Structures are given as C-alpha cells and as structure tokens.
C-alpha cells in the first residue's frame, strides 16, 4: 500500500533563502508525482507534475526532482518570497489499473519578510 510522507511538517525561513521540501513514497511503481500549493482555507493549485520517466520539472523559481529508486521527490524553491507562504502537498499517482493520487500531509511554509 502506497504511503506518502512529507518532512518537515512545518518550515519557517527568512525571505530570500533557497529551500527544499521533501516528499517520500514507499512504492516506487508510480505513474507520476505531483506537487500542489494550498493557501489557508482555499483549494489546491497544481505546481509541477513529474512523469515516472522524468527526473525533474521546472517552473519559474520552482524545481521538482524525482528519484523513483529511492522513493523521493524534492521541491526546490529559489529566492523565497513572503508570497510563497502556503502549504505544499505532494501526491503520488500509482501505476496500474486503479490509479489515484496518494497524498502526503503537506509542509506548511512561512517565509518571513
């Protein structure tokens, strides 16, 4: 059974720092891995999707990597800004017939001015 874990649960950094959020999954047979952002009391915004055949995806100041063999993905945020403050969730989509997203609990990020 796939389990997704995100560490740390919460992170507070000063503005301008580069930071890394971690996501690990127990079953390497995934179809893709996705990173989402959630602002307090709001829905989710898709940030990056990495297919199982890919190693990384980039969008602006965000870079997500995927290492299936070790069951890990990282989200790298460059030059963090207060507007990056949110909860970041990763979700792994299982391969096979019953594909659905298996979610981590998220990392709550606070970027302080």
Partner 1 sequence: DAMVIQNPRYQVTQFGKPVTLSCSQTLNHNVMYWYQQKSSQAPKLLFHYYDKDFNNEADTPDNFQSRRPNTSFCFLDIRSPGLGDAAMYLCATGRRPSTDTQYFGPGTRLTVL
Catalog residues that contact partner 1 under the rule CB under 8 A: 31-32, 34, 36, 41-46, 49, 89, 91, 93, 99-101, 103-106
CB 94 to partner 1: min, Å: 9
Nearest distance, CB of residue 42 and partner 1, angstroms: 5
Instruction: Return d(Cα 95, Cα 31) in angstroms, integer.
Output: 5
- Cβ closest to partner 1, residue 15 vs residue 52: 52
For residues 87 and 37, the answer to whether their CB atoms sit within 8 Å is yes
Is the Cβ of residue 34 or residue 80 nearer to partner 1 in the bound state? 34
Nearer to partner 1, 89 or 111 (CB): 89
DSSP H/E element including 5: strand 4-7
Smallest gap from Cβ 32 to partner 1, in A, equals 8
Instruction: Quote the CA–CA distance of 56 and 92 in Å, as a whole number.
Output: 15
- Judged by beta carbon, residue 14 or residue 98, the one nearer partner 1 is 98
Ranges assigned E (strand) in 16-103: 19-25, 30-38, 44-51, 56-59, 62-67, 72-77, 86-94, 101-103
């Amino acid at each position: 059974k796939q389990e997704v874990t995100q560490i740390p649960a919460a992170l507070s950094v000063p503005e301008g720092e580069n930071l890394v959020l971690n996501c690990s999954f127990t079953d390497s047979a995934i179809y893709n891995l996705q990173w989402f952002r959630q602002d307090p009391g709001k829905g989710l915004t898709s940030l990056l999707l990495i297919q199982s055949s890919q190693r990384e995806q980039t969008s602006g100041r965000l870079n997500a990597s995927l290492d299936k063999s070790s069951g890990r993905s990282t989200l790298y945020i460059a030059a963090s800004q207060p507007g990056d403050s949110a909860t970041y969730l990763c979700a792994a989509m299982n391969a096979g017939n019953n594909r659905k997203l298996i979610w981590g609990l998220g990392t709550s990020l606070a970027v302080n001015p």
